[in-house]
Structure 1
Amino acid sequence: MAKQPRVLVGQVAAITGGARGIGKETARALVREGVKVAIGDLDLELAQKTAAELGGGGTAVRAYPLDVTDRESVRAFIDAVEADLGPIDIFDSNAGIMPVGTFLEEDDDSTRRQIDINVYGVINGAKEILPRFVERRRGHLVNVASMAGKGGFPGVATYCGTKHFVVGLSESIRGELAYADSPVEVTCVMPAIVQTELATGLKATRGVKPTTPEDVAEAIVDALKVPRFDVFVPKAAGVANTVMGVLPRRGREGLARALKADVALIEADHSARRGYEVRAAESDPHLEAGHQPASLGAGED
Structure 2
Amino acid sequence: MLRALIPSRWRPHLREALELVLLPGLAAVLPWGWCFRVFCWLAHRCQWLYREPCERALHEVQARGWVTPAQAPRWLAQRRLVTLIDHADLYLAATRSNRWMQRHMQVQGQWPTVGQAGILATFHWGAGMWGLRHAQQAGLVPHALVAALNGAHFAGHPVLHRYAQARTAYVAKALGCPTLDVSSSLRPAVRALRDHEQVLAAIDVPSDQVAASVPVQIAGMAAQVPKALLRLAVEQKVPVTVYLTGIDMDTGQRTLRIVPLPVQKDLDTLVAAVFSYLSEAIQQDSAAWHFWSEAPRFFVPPAPATAE
TM range (shorter): under 0.3
Q: Which has the higher contact order (CA 8 A, sep 6+)?
A: 2
> What is the TM-score of this pair, normalised by structure 1?
0.26
> What is the TM-score of this pair, normalised by structure 2?
0.26
